[in-house]
């Protein structure tokens, strides 16, 4: 086991994985004083920070599993899956859960990975400070990319753990090794400042939306304001994006399914910021693991062999979703083809393999992975784009904030834009009657719209936390009442995850969250 604190493992060297060309293993262990500082070198540094986005420790696996399983939309399917996943699902998380920090292999866990993103951003800013002046805006645009990824990393950290050590480009190694927990209010101010900087210096739009533009910085800033309950600011920010949709080259994709299609999504105007997988496996990184975790054994609907039936919605998620809503069809599979070509109903899925749950499975990731030929039979080596922020979410941020400040009629308009798209399906036939237009939308209405529109996109857990919905959605009237584990939810403990004990051992200024 390594005997240094993983939080600061990059103080002594920075592992760089280029996010623009993952077909090459572009790793470097050069110390900063060995690097020749020019724009090309600094571009490599900031690319290294972004290179952690498709890592298995982020949305694809460790963090993605955590956010999905802690929500009320997803439950464990395969009962033999690893215990750290069951802990997240049933709110029995041990402080040493390896999804948070795997002491023997930190690349598999999200606490150190997000701090590596922070380290890459801070190193970029340090290098820019040492670089000679460039033409107007060049250094600032690179700095904006660095500050965006830092803001994004801390936005996850502060919502998952509350107060955490805040490190910026001015933090020395000595200070970092003993850094106390910074108040979440202070961290949120720094996050907002990073996104505000991005609004100034990032371009209006990019053809490659795995890099942020102004809309991405503004959308995340609106999300931060919404999370903090600063509704007027959230409204201002989100409505400003809507008013500038043509400038930012944004629009709702006419067919909801195309957003989750490996080829069609590249031409869509709806994505604002994505993780772009390239179908290449490097040391088990850059892989689309959600396809495997949400698929199931023995089905050949999208690709040979299927997945692992780990993250499977409770039956009530499917049963309460109106069958006339096109989004249910896109999000969930209630039947599948076996490897022998037989069409099976979801009640027969376990006949393919006893580890499969007999419940409808998430199809958003399996279908997307299956749109292109796969190098891996479980769909992991895919060309998927994970939607971290898209235009529909901006409309819903604006709608929720509008209701809070007494402008419900505008909320109706923005929600109905999304519902109109859902009613039109793929455009090949007459519109559905479901979901009907809304009038006089309430907060519950917009939260329900977020639950359905953004289903399985790692948003629901954060909504539960910021709106203090845990006792309600994990109570006797929640979706998961027929499954074990929901009774373990404790609002005094479970809105936050534990600080890794190894970090507390190595840093006497760190303290643990309540209940762990």
More confident residue, 497 or 303: 497
Give the pair of three-digit tokens for residue 98.
Answer: 């390896």
Query: In the prediction, which pLDDT does 377 show?
Result: 73
Confidence label for 15 from pLDDT (cuts 50, 70 and 90): very low
Q: Cβ(462)–Cβ(63) under 8 Å?
A: no
In this predicted structure, the answer to whether residue 327 has a pLDDT above a threshold of 90 is yes
More confident residue, 277 or 389: 389
170: Cα within 13 Å, side-chain hemisphere: 0
What's the chain's average pLDDT?
A: 90
What would the pLDDT profile of 99-130 be if each residue is shown by its tens digit?
A: 999 999 999 999 999 999 999 999 999 999 99
25-to-28, 48, 306, 498 alpha-carbon distances in Å: 9, 11, 28, 33
**Strands in 315-464 per DSSP E:** 332-333, 335-337, 343-345, 361-362, 385-390
What would the pLDDT profile of 422-457 be if each residue is shown by its tens digit?
A: 999 999 999 999 999 999 999 999 999 999 999 999
Query: In the prediction, which pLDDT does 30 show?
Result: 41
Query: In the prediction, which pLDDT does 16 show?
Result: 33
Query: In the prediction, which pLDDT does 302 show?
Result: 87
Helix (H, G, I), strand (E, B) or coil at 297: strand
Query: In the prediction, which pLDDT does 123 show?
Result: 97
In this predicted structure, the answer to whether residue 493 has a pLDDT above a threshold of 90 is yes
DSSP per residue, 61-83: THHHHHHHHTSSS-EE--TTS-H
What would the pLDDT profile of 381-400 be if each residue is shown by its tens digit?
A: 888 899 999 999 999 999 99
Query: In the prediction, which pLDDT does 374 show?
Result: 60
Confidence label for 483 from pLDDT (cuts 50, 70 and 90): low
Q: Which residues pair with 344 in a beta bridge?
A: 336
What would the pLDDT profile of 155-206 be if each residue is shown by its tens digit?
A: 999 999 999 999 999 998 889 999 999 999 999 999 999 999 999 999 999 9
In this predicted structure, the answer to whether residue 482 has a pLDDT above a threshold of 80 is no
In this predicted structure, the answer to whether residue 93 has a pLDDT above a threshold of 50 is yes
More confident residue, 184 or 263: 184
Reference 449, options 507, 406, 490, 402; nearest CA is 402
What would the pLDDT profile of 396-426 be if each residue is shown by its tens digit?
A: 999 999 999 999 999 999 999 999 999 999 9
Angstrom distance (rounded) from CA 477 to CA 91? 18
Confidence label for 285 from pLDDT (cuts 50, 70 and 90): confident
Reference 148, options 222, 49, 61; nearest CA is 49
Query: In the prediction, which pLDDT does 18 show?
Result: 29
Find out whether the peptide bond into 111 is cis, omega within 30 degrees of 0.
Answer: no
Query: In the prediction, which pLDDT does 136 show?
Result: 83
Angstrom distance (rounded) from CA 10 to CA 442? 46
In this predicted structure, the answer to whether residue 21 has a pLDDT above a threshold of 60 is no
Query: In the prediction, which pLDDT does 485 show?
Result: 54
Q: Cβ(182)–Cβ(168) under 8 Å?
A: no
In this predicted structure, the answer to whether residue 29 has a pLDDT above a threshold of 80 is no
Q: Cβ(142)–Cβ(130) under 8 Å?
A: no
In this predicted structure, the answer to whether residue 64 has a pLDDT above a threshold of 70 is yes
Confidence label for 9 from pLDDT (cuts 50, 70 and 90): very low
More confident residue, 300 or 71: 71
**Average pLDDT for 468-490:** 85
- Percentage of the chain lying above the pLDDT 70 cut: 91
Those residues whose C-beta lies under 8 Å from the C-beta of residue 258, and which sit 6 or more positions away, are 264, 265, 268
Domain ranges of the chain: 1-135+465-516, 278-383
pTM of the model: 0.92
Q: What CATH number was assigned to the domain covering residues 1-135+465-516? A: 1.25.40
Give the pair of three-digit tokens for residue 438.
Answer: 């809304």
CB atoms within 10 A of CB 413: 18
């Amino acid at each position: 086991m390594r005997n240094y604190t993983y939080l600061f493992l990059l103080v002594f060297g920075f592992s760089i994985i280029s996010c623009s060309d993952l077909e090459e293993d572009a790793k470097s262990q050069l110390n900063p004083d060995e690097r020749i500082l020019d724009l090309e070198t600094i571009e490599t540094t900031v690319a290294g920070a972004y290179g952690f986005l498709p890592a298995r420790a982020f949305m694809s696996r460790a963090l993605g599993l955590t956010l999905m399983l802690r929500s009320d939309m997803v439950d464990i399917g395969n009962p033999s899956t690893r215990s750290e996943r069951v802990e997240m699902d049933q709110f029995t998380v041990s402080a040493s859960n390896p999804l948070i920090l795997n002491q023997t292999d930190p690349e598999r866990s999200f606490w150190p990975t997000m701090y590596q993103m922070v380290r890459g951003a801070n190193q970029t800013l340090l290098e820019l400070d040492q670089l000679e002046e460039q033409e107007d805006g060049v250094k600032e645009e690179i700095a904006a990319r660095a500050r965006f990824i830092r803001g994004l990393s801390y936005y996850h950290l502060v919502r998952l753990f509350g107060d955490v050590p805040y490190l910026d480009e001015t933090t020395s190694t000595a200070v970092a090794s003993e850094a106390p927990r910074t108040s979440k209010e202070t961290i949120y101010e720094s996050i907002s400042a990073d996104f505000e900087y991005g609004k100034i210096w990032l371009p209006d739009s990019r053809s490659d939306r795995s890099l942020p533009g102004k809309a991405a910085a503004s959308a995340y800033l609106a999300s931060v304001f919404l999370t903090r309950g600063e509704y007027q600011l959230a409204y201002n920010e989100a409505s400003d994006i809507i008013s500038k949709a043509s400038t930012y080259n944004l629009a709702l994709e006419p067919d909801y399914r195309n957003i989750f299609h490996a080829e069609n999504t590249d031409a869509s105007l709806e994505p604002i910021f994505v993780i772009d997988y390239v179908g290449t496996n490097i040391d088990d990184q850059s892989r689309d693991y959600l396809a495997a975790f949400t698929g199931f054994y023995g089905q050949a609907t999208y690709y040979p062999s299927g997945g692992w039936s780990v993250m499977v919605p409770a039956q009530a998620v499917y049963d309460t979703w109106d069958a006339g809503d096109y989004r249910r069809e896109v999000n969930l599979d209630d039947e599948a083809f076996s490897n022998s070509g037989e069409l099976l109903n979801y009640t027969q899925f376990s006949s393919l393999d006893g580890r499969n749950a007999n419940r409808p499975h998430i199809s958003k990731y399996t279908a997307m992975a299956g749109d292109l030929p796969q190098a891996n039979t479980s769909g992991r080596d895919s060309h998927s784009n994970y939607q971290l922020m898209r235009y529909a979410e901006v409309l819903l941020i604006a709608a929720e904030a509008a209701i809070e400040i007494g402008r419900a009629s505008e909320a109706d308009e923005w929600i109905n834009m999304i519902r109109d798209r859902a009613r039109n399906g793929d455009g090949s036939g007459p519109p559905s009657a479901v979901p009907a237009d809304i009038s006089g939308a309430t907060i519950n209405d917009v939260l329900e719209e977020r639950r359905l529109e953004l289903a399985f996109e790692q948003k629901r857990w954060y909504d539960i936390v910021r709106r203090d919905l845990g006792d309600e959605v994990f109570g006797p009237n929640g979706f998961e009442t027929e499954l074990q584990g929901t009774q373990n939810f404790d609002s005094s403990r479970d809105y936050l995850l534990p600080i890794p004990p190894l970090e507390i051992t190595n840093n006497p200024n760190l303290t643990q969250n309540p209940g762990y």
